[in-house]
Amino acid sequence: MPFSSLDLSLDPASDEAVRAGWQALEQQEIPSEGRRTSPTHRPHLTLLAAPTVPPDILERAARDLRPLLPARLTARATVVFGRGPFVVAHLVVPDPVLRAAVADLRGDEGDLWIPHLTLSRKVPAGRLTDALRAAEGARPIVVVAQQLRHWDAIRHIVTPLT
């Protein structure tokens, strides 16, 4: 079952910076998120993912997160997730107020949330060093989260919440 999500999309300059990371991987012939051609796909920071996001969570998110946007996020490092093929992403650090609001919304104290901007989901082990070098070379210092959105995986639509 596909997962729906609650995401933060980025301002135009930050969106472009993440896409530059996608392109840096492609220039090394490493698959990136840039290959996903859906009109709804764009750089984003996932706050939570679930088979469905209940209406009360969407309402709380809009109420509690809207006043915190736009939010500056520091891109601290390039990280790797998984056991292969690997996910390569930029680890981002939100300010404590945004992190606390997301933790409250998630109901998990934020311990399970690793804020990141995905660059690739399919890096083979033999290309990991090249992928990290390319991604780190394209890592922005700061990105700006501009809009809260809901991705409905069942209906395949994105709904802005701010």
Whole-number pLDDT of residue 38: 82
Rounded to whole angstroms, the Cα distance separating 45 from 81 reads 15
- Distance between alpha carbon 14 and the CA centroid of its chain, in Å? 12
160 beta partners: 149
Whole-number pLDDT of residue 110: 59
pLDDT in tens, 46-84: 999 999 999 999 999 999 999 999 999 999 999 999 998
Whole-number pLDDT of residue 37: 81
Whole-number pLDDT of residue 1: 66
Instruction: Please report the domains of the chain, with CATH numbers, ordered by start residue.
Output: 4-153 (3.90.1140.10)
Where residue 118 falls among pLDDT bands split at 50, 70, 90?
A: very high
Q: Alpha helix (H) ranges present in the chain?
A: 12-27, 55-65, 96-106, 128-137
Nearest Cα residue to 16 out of 148, 159, 146: 146
Please give the model's pTM, rounded to 2 decimal places: 0.92
For residue 85, give the amino acid letter.
P
pLDDT at position 109 over 80: no
Whole-number pLDDT of residue 39: 74
Rounded to whole angstroms, the Cα distance separating 93 from 12 reads 19
Nearest Cα residue to 38 out of 157, 122, 161: 157
Whole-number pLDDT of residue 140: 87
